[in-house]
Structure 1
């Protein structure tokens, strides 16, 4: 490469010239083909190192070779859940010989659709989409329009067009009802959600409500759901409690996301209520801070690693032609981690609250 070209990205032809072989031979070596003579392969690897050559995955895909890029679109990269999901997906993809392009829809459905279109422009081999709303959102529709191979994750139910992977939100929330109503005997419970549009949130509401009314048809369940800004949601929680007549406040709260748990916890403390003496608290989606705060927070732990493994395996099975059948819904089981905020220590068996009625 000439000195004045030192900032130009090396091409496969530069590597071929430096190694004294054909570009086709360089391609074979980089793809791991074992029929290349050992001395030629050694010269290619040396030239690759000296020229700092990196294969252009888009160009190789356009030449008709198998594309080794996977796209991932998630609602929020700052979320601990989605951050861990992306990290797991990226590691698994790289172990399988793929690279991953990651983008955030920022909880905006129009941007979600635009990102799906961009993934098509990149000619990705497949895409993993966590929709803003559900499997019927614009992102999924755009993937379908382009005929892209995709798996939908988290905020989804069964779909006849794409494989779907999510935590078993319905059953996990039913287990919270088993704890708060079936075992502890709470009669008045608040369900709090920091969003009302997510399919996952709706599944959690349904799972808890159906089990709760089976356990106790007379249980009072209030719902406080909002997509408003932080301060508006804080005010709504305070207003809700101010409107409850003494003796008729909820004795337990089930917060339907990690963000919701933070909001509820901060407002409970701001109002001077004690956990669990005045109100028990259970959150959906565990986090490190829930284990270290006092009292520690009872939470549903989502199987993030299992979701990532299942999603990538399902996608690659489609991409590589190993699975061509009907779309499959995969539900990964969650774990309810009982801690101090539910009115018992982690080592105690769930017991009746004594605050029921």
Structure 2
């Protein structure tokens, strides 16, 4: 029984030192990548590590450093392709630097967001990538600042006086959408979306409206927004159309809003682009596979993640200076869901 327990016991640094015939301090140096250890001694350590199946205890190692080699990431939700792709990129970039990424979803709750940050603070994570529920002025950013946490804010942010920020250039992308729609003759456009208080929603809406009214001062821009829930948005959109409103195009500020709008079109028997045109902010595979393919604003996930991790690790390594604000350009793909305004509803369509 004692022999079996010994076999099951995780090998320690002292076991490696004994097998290699060196001190525990030498093993520690070799595992940390210190190059001053004699080559033959380092090789004996590597051989012993392989024979024993030794693994570094990250908790013990990081406790000595005061911070663990862990990066925290908090996203509003994990369901969208955007945040899923973002986490994939962040994880890969963290691992390239020898760190582990631990991710959590705030589920669009600022209270939960702050609670998760408190846990990450207790875990002594090296840094945090935060996509806030609302904007850079929420309680989560305030908690990070009050507790001296190292972090970078992404997505629903524009700039901050305490943390570096990285986001898509939503305003410029939305202005391009406005130019495309008005260039095709649209003068009555409905803008729909979620997250009334999010900085990016404001930027997308303001960018679209300003560009549209510059091009056509007589253009009518209607707006239907809800906070974070799809069902209130669905109800408001249904009420809007029930009043007899007939915009010739819809611009959705979020992926979920695109789905809600498309569902309402189908319910009413409307077809894109014959009866109404549709553009969505954020792209997804289903938008390319459906017919007609849905026009979309494609966010630069790889660039946002890359710059966010660059500035985060620079801060972790001690870089000083005022926080930076970075806006990454988007791509606008005008697919088959957009056309010139039609002459009326599709046959069989309902008003």
TM-score by length of 2: 0.91
Matches within 5 A, 1:137-156: 137-156=138-157
Cα deviation, 1:97-138, whole Å, max 9, x if unaligned, reads: 222111111111111111111111111111111111111111
Cα deviation, 1:221-277, whole Å, max 9, x if unaligned, reads: 111111364444333322211112xxx510000011111111111111111011011
Partner SS, residue 340 of structure 1: coil
Report the counterpart of residue 52 of structure 1 in structure 2: 53
Is 1:255 equivalent to 2:256 in the alignment? no
Report the counterpart of residue 348 of structure 2 in structure 1: none
Are residues 177 and 39 of structure 1, via their aligned partners in 2, closer, same or farther at CA, if it must alter by over 3 Å? same
Report the counterpart of residue 349 of structure 1 in structure 2: none
Report the counterpart of residue 281 of structure 2 in structure 1: 284
Report the counterpart of residue 341 of structure 1 in structure 2: 337
Report the counterpart of residue 267 of structure 1 in structure 2: 264
Are residues 46 and 220 of structure 1, via their aligned partners in 2, closer, same or farther at CA, if it must alter by over 3 Å? same
Are residues 110 and 8 of structure 1, via their aligned partners in 2, closer, same or farther at CA, if it must alter by over 3 Å? farther
8 Å Cα contact 2:11/2:54 also seen in 1: yes
C-alpha separation between the residues in 2 aligned to 1:11 and 1:199? 50
Q: Which is further off, 80-89 or 24-33? A: 24-33
Q: Which is further off, 49-58 or 261-270? A: 49-58
Report the counterpart of residue 330 of structure 1 in structure 2: 326
TM superposition shift of 1:2: 5.5
Report the counterpart of residue 195 of structure 2 in structure 1: 195
Report the counterpart of residue 307 of structure 2 in structure 1: 310
C-alpha separation between the residues in 2 aligned to 1:58 and 1:116? 19
8 Å Cα contact 1:61/1:123 also seen in 2: no
Cα deviation, 1:41-95, whole Å, max 9, x if unaligned, reads: 2232233334433323332222137742211111112221111001101111111
C-alpha separation between the residues in 2 aligned to 1:353 and 1:340? 13
Structure 1, unaligned runs of 5 or more: 344-351
C-alpha separation between the residues in 2 aligned to 1:173 and 1:355? 26
Are residues 231 and 327 of structure 1, via their aligned partners in 2, closer, same or farther at CA, if it must alter by over 3 Å? closer
C-alpha separation between the residues in 1 aligned to 2:12 and 2:343? 72
Report the counterpart of residue 35 of structure 2 in structure 1: 34
Cα deviation, 1:193-232, whole Å, max 9, x if unaligned, reads: 1332322112111111111121122211111111364444
8 Å Cα contact 1:186/1:355 also seen in 2: no
C-alpha separation between the residues in 1 aligned to 2:301 and 2:7? 43
Q: For this pair of structures, how many residues does the alignment match?
A: 343
TM-score by length of 1: 0.90
Report the counterpart of residue 176 of structure 1 in structure 2: 177
TM superposition shift of 1:140: 0.9
C-alpha separation between the residues in 1 aligned to 2:292 and 2:330? 22
